[in-house]
Amino acid sequence: MRSPFRSLLTSALTTYTGGGGGGGGSAHSKRCLSSLVSLQEISIPAADGTIMAAQRWTKQQPRQTPATTSKTTTDSENDEKSSESSSQKFDRRTILCTHGWLDNCGTHHYLAPRLALELEDGAEIIALDFPGHGHSSHRSKDAPPLVSADLVYYTCEAIRALQSPSFSFQASEEEEEKVNQPEDFPEKWTTDSASGSIVDTTSDNEKKKITIVGHSLGAAVASLTAASFPEWIDQLVLLDAATFLPRQATDTAEHVRQHILKRQQHTNSQDQQQQPPRVYPNLERAIQVRQFSATKMPGNQAMSHQAARAMVMRGTRKVVDSQQMEEEKKDEVETLDSMDDTGPVQFRHDPRFTWPSIQYMTWEQNEGIMAALHKTDIDVCLLQAESGWPVDDYITKRVKEILQPTFFRRLPGKHHFHADPETAEAVGDAVIEFLKR
95-132 pLDDT tens trace: 999 999 999 999 999 999 999 999 987 899 999 999 99
Contact 257/359 with Cβ under 8 angstroms?
no
Percent of the chain with pLDDT over 70: 69
CA dihedral sign of residues 121, 133, 216, 1: positive
Cβ contact 304:330 at 8 Å: no
pLDDT of residue 30: 55
* pLDDT > 60? residue 201: no
- Give the pLDDT score at 175: 38
CA-CA-CA-CA torsion sign (216, 221, 223, 224): positive
Q: What proportion of the chain, given as a percentage, has pLDDT over 90?
A: 54
The answer on pLDDT for 198 being more than 70 is no
Whole-number mean pLDDT of the chain?
Answer: 80
- Which CATH architecture group holds 25-60+85-250+358-435? 3-Layer(aba) Sandwich (3.40)
- pTM of the full structure: 0.81
Please give the average per-residue pLDDT across 211-238, as a whole number: 98
What's the pLDDT at 21? 44
Looking at per-residue pLDDT, the higher value among 282 and 264 belongs to 282
Residue 191 has pLDDT above 80, yes or no: no
Three-state SS annotation for the chain: CCCHHHHHHHHHHHHHCCCCCCCCCCHHHHHHHHHHEEEEEEEEECCCCCEEEEEEEEECCCCCCCCCCCCCCCHHHHHHHHHHHHHHHHHCCEEEEECCCCCCHHHHCCHHHHHHHHCCCCCEEEEECCCCCCCCCCCCCCCCCCCHHHHHHHHHHHHHHHHCCCCCCEECCCCCCHHHCHHHCCCCEEECCCCCCEEECCCHHHCCCEEEEEECHHHHHHHHHHHHCHHHEEEEEEECCCCCCECCHHHHHHHHHHHHHHHHHHHCHHHCCCCCCCEECCHHHHHHHHHHHHHCCCCCCCCCHHHHHHHHHHHEEEECCCCCCCCCCHHHEEECCCCCCCCCEEECCCHHHHCCCCCCECHHHHHHHHHHHHCCCCEEEEEEECCCCCCCHHHHHHHHHHHCCCEEEEECCCCCCCCCHHHHHHHHHHHHHHHCC
Give the sign of the dihedral formed by CA 266, CA 271, CA 274, CA 278. Answer: negative
pLDDT tens-place string over residues 134-182: 999 998 877 766 788 899 999 999 999 999 876 766 555 433 333 333 3
382-425 pLDDT, tens digit each: 999 999 999 888 899 999 999 999 999 999 999 999 999 999 99
Amino acid at residue number 52? M
Q: Poorest-confidence range of 32-36, 133-137, 277-281, 363-367?
A: 32-36
Assess whether pLDDT exceeds 50 at residue 325.
no
Ranges 58-62, 210-214, 269-273: which has the least confidence:
269-273
Residue 431: its pLDDT value, please? Answer: 98
- Per-domain residue ranges for the chain? 25-60+85-250+358-435
Distance CA 165, CA 153 (A): 20
**Span 327-356, average pLDDT:** 67
Single out the residue of 98, 78, 234 nearest to residue 163, CA to CA. 234
Q: Give CA–CA dist 381/281, Å, rounded.
A: 41
Q: Is the dihedral of CA 216, 218, 223, 224 positive or negative?
A: positive
